[in-house]
Amino acid sequence: MGEIASIVSCGLYVPLWRLERARIAEAMGWLGSAAAHGPSGSRAVCGWDEDALTMAVEAGRRCMAGAQSRPLDALSLASTTLPFADRSNATLVAEALDLPESARTSDHAGSLRAATTALAEAARRGAEASTLVIASDARLARPGSAAEMEYGDGAVALLIAGGQPPDGCRPMATVSAVAHVSADFIDHYRMSGEPFDYALEERWVRDEGVAKLVPGAISRALDLAGLTPADVDHFAMTGMPGAARRIAQSAGLVRARVGEGLREDCGELGAAQPFLLLLSMLSAAAPGERLLLAGFAQGVDALVLLAGEGAAVRARDELARALARSRLEPHYTRYLAHRGLLVPDYGRRAERDQRTAQSVAWRKHRELAAFIGGRCGACGAVQFPKSRVCVNPECRRADTQCEHRLAETSGRLRSFTEDWQAYTPHPPCVYGNVGLEAGGNLLMELTDVAPGELEVGAEVRFVFRIKDCDRQRAYRRYFWKATRG
Amino acid sequence: MSDGIRDKVAILGMGCSKFGERWSCGADDLMLEAFGEALADAGVERDAIEAAWLGIFFDEQSTGKSSLPLAMTLRLPGIPVTRVENLCATGTEALRGAAYAIAAGVCDIALAMGVEKLKDAGYAGLPERTKGTFEDLYLPSSTAPGAFAQLASAYAARHGYTIEQLRRAMAHISRKSHDNGARNPKAHLRNRITEEQVLGAPMISYPLGVLDCCGVSDGAACAILASPRMARTLGRKDFVSLKALQLAASNGVEMGHQSWDGSSTLTTRIAAARAFREAGLERPRDQIDLMEVHDCFSITELVLMEDLGFSDEGRAPHDVLEGRYDRDGAIPCQSDGGLKCFGHPIGATGLRMAYEIYLQLLGRAGERQLGSPVMGLTHNLGGIPNRNVASVAVLGLAT
């Protein structure tokens, strides 16, 4: 079987914050359970204003930036922690990425296989469509659980193009074959609306689930690709550490180098973990080498891929870049608070009604979701929000503005403050006047900055984040914030 | 070209309540306290008032909307009463409404009342409020100190000061105002403070510590205005008249255009230039004897010295530290203690400032009296440096 689709770009997003496992052990070790063991390394945790949706936007931006403005037909968003159960999360991500209105958007949820299944579907659409597949997860874990130690938050985006990559484009990898096994084997589950996973005994999962279900999927995928197990150069599989090695052995992948995740720096990314493993494999793959990726959850998705030229460098860069920026979260209790697992007294200001006027939000959705301002056709002044009459005091002409997207531009801080009185889940609330690279000024909230590290003139870029949470109506609204460049 | 408001409006009487945490008083009590004093001062009957303006900002926190709280509290006899709101310039806006009615010649006696009952919020600081249905969706979750604190970082960057240098001048401002407030029985905060206390106070919004911030208080102030002709008919010889009353509203330049760098308040500059012209002041530095400016935060007062033209660009910290704006300086600023010591019951503030200038011009400021001033200025900045309404009024002895 020939190649059915190409992966032409990738983007990895890992939140800035890292929680050292030693901090968890310190706080929860008294339980004598999982929290007492293995406290090496750190796991990535979302900031208070991040979730699976915002991380997906960041991974998507990164991926699209590396894709030379390719027209896009579809966006698939895979996650088990999408913030909205009924409201297309993918559609909001598509708006934030300023994808064309005609793009087909779909949420893939309900299983840790969501991403591999979405990738397989995108690959099968082959030549007819190019699809951005983004996997993102920010799973909650019960304090003191093994999951709390092992889980990490993050997102990976892959851009899938048709069978024949466009001219001048060297695909990072091509998908040769996909195979599926569906089996209602419950290694863990989470009921709708429940915060935490319920995990079953690891030894049973390993022996009765993984060992019995994965090899079948692997051999079918290899058959479809016309390969033998000995042809596989790299293998990676989601699940417990060590399981992949066991499977490689039992499935006869004798030459395969077994790819690993990023336990020390990041943790297990849930639905995004298979994509992270794919990047990990690609980072070590020479052009022409064969990759086998298996995702396990209520069955198996197995994908056979062929590494492209330059894939290793691209994947290594992406991994290094995403991991380069990190900051330790010194407060275990703040991590709990940001995940909603501890409710501190945020003061009376936190009581403010955060009702969203949805008619306004829709009227201004281009501004709010895609961070689109106006550019005056007469004088060139860029302004946010886009307005009917130009803000330039020398111009003030009416109805001259066209859309100008600010998300991918930068700015410089013209003034700022660290406000200990304004409500934010992560005091102080930092905000300031940002002089836009394109001209214009905008008073913006800053995120992922610590007191004392800002100065006037500092370069900032823009990120899509949670703006406010309306607890009364169980609603989250989003907008763009500035962060250090 | 109109010749403006100069000498077209006389102040017949003024009143000001005690400012503070008036737990036992509602807005009605505060208004009656100020009104009683003003009415006695004016020497007219309540029913001589032909029209009235009420300034209140947080209507949702105290009285509810409309002019009715004033009309009903004073049991005004069915005269036209107008409620105005223009951010922190609300009090001056009420004064402007009444003054314009007098100047237009449509009535002979009018009342301007400003009131705010802040201390029913249930917590310290200003009550939380919405910024507007669209603005809430993108503007930061900010506070007043946070919005004004940014002046410091932008001013320091523009003029090459360190934040520490600026903070020393800011501490001088707060210390000076407390010295003045200590002499004023109507001020909320009457304690003296040291500059070291200001610098060591808990941080509210960097670089503003708690003693860089004005208090949060309840209060009311009012003015009974008349035409100069009516003032003379009533036997007044030496009275205070309005020399200028100007307002400038942001049109969005500060919020959205790169020409503003965040280190000044544009509208103050516009309103001041127009007010000095209206008052016929060619050398305001020499002609203004005292001023009450919008010192919601110490840094605001500092940059205002330049925005109003009393200090050269970049020189305000030096002038402040040299005592130019102290009560024995060239142009005393906040001789009554300012917002710093009175707090900022928003609707009342502009009229409270006018009250101090009025007393000083008439030589009735008691322990605070500053010689024999003839011309004083009040200034409000409503909103935040990014978008605001500035008012500048000049009051002088009638000539």
Q: What is the pLDDT of residues B215-237, one digit of tens each?
A: 999 999 999 999 999 999 999 99
More confident residue, A217 or A170: A217
- A52-61 pLDDT, tens digit per residue, is 999 999 999 9
DSSP letter at A432?
Answer: E
DSSP letter at B370?
Answer: -
Tokens in use for A168?
């001048």
Mutate to test the interface with A, among B60, B120, B143, B265 (most CBs of A within 10 A): B143
Please give the full DSSP string across A452-463, using - where no structure is assigned: T---TT-EEEEE
Please give the full DSSP string across B142-182, using - where no structure is assigned: --HHHHHHHHHHHHHHHHT--HHHHHHHHHHHHHHHHHHHT
- B107 among known catalytic residues: no
Q: How far apart are CA B113 and CA A398, in angstroms?
A: 39
Encoded amino acid at A310, one letter: G
Q: What pTM did the predictor assign?
A: 0.95
Question: Which H or E run includes A249?
Answer: helix A243-250
Instruction: Assess contact for B91 and B349: CB atoms under 8 A.
Output: yes
Q: How far apart are CA B394 and CA B391, in angstroms?
A: 10
Predicted confidence at residue A66, as pLDDT, reads: 79
Q: Count of alpha carbons within 13 Å of A456, Cβ hemisphere only?
A: 23
Tokens 């569906």 belong to which residue?
A182
Instruction: Assess contact for A374 and A383: CB atoms under 8 A.
Output: yes
- Beta-sheet strands, E only, within A285-333: 290-296, 299-307, 327-328
Query: Mean pLDDT across chain A, nearest whole number?
Result: 94
Catalytic one of B88, B213, B222, B341 = B88
- B238-247 pLDDT, tens digit per residue, is 899 999 999 9
Predicted confidence at residue A2, as pLDDT, reads: 59
Main-chain phi, psi angles of A307, to 5 degrees = -70, 140
Of B135, B130, B138, nearest in space to A369 by CA: B138
Please give the full DSSP string across B301-332, using - where no structure is assigned: HHHHHHHTTSS-TTTHHHHHHTTTTSTTSSS-
Q: Is the pLDDT of residue A205 over 80?
A: yes
Q: Is the pLDDT of residue B124 over 90?
A: no
Name every chain B residue with its beta carbon within 8 A of the beta carbon of A444.
140
Q: Is the pLDDT of residue A344 over 90?
A: yes
Query: Mean pLDDT across chain B, nearest whole number?
Result: 96
Is the alpha carbon torsion for A110, A115, A116, A122 positive or negative? Answer: positive
Mutate to test the interface with B, among A368, A387, A409, A421 (most CBs of B within 10 A): A421
Contact A429 B140 (CB under 8 A): yes
Q: Is the pLDDT of residue B84 over 90?
A: yes
- A351-378 pLDDT, tens digit per residue, is 889 999 999 999 999 999 999 999 999 9
- B178 among known catalytic residues: no
Q: Is the pLDDT of residue B355 over 60?
A: yes
pLDDT-based confidence at B57, cuts 50/70/90? Answer: very high
**What does the pLDDT average to over A29-53?**
88
Q: Is the pLDDT of residue B290 over 90?
A: yes
Query: Which residues is B247 bridged to in the sheet?
Result: B391
**What does the pLDDT average to over B359-379?**
97
Query: Which residues is A257 bridged to in the sheet?
Result: A234
> Predicted ipTM?
0.94
Name every chain B residue with its beta carbon within 8 A of the beta carbon of A431.
140, 142, 146
Q: How far is B329 from chain A (nearest CA, A)?
A: 31
Q: How far is A342 from chain B (nearest CA, A)?
A: 22
A374 in B contact zone (CB under 8 Å): no
Q: Is the pLDDT of residue A1 over 60?
A: no
- A81-126 pLDDT, tens digit per residue, is 999 999 999 999 999 999 999 999 999 999 999 999 999 999 988 7
Angle at A300 between CA A298 and CA A304, to 5 degrees: 160
Share above pLDDT 90 across residues of chain B, in percent, rounded to a whole number: 94
Predicted confidence at residue B62, as pLDDT, reads: 81
Encoded amino acid at A348, one letter: R
Name every chain A residue with its beta carbon within 8 A of the beta carbon of B121.
348
pLDDT-based confidence at A166, cuts 50/70/90? Answer: low
- A57-81 pLDDT, tens digit per residue, is 999 999 999 786 667 899 999 999 9
Q: Count of alpha carbons within 13 Å of B342, Cβ hemisphere only?
A: 33
**Three-state DSSP class for A160?**
strand
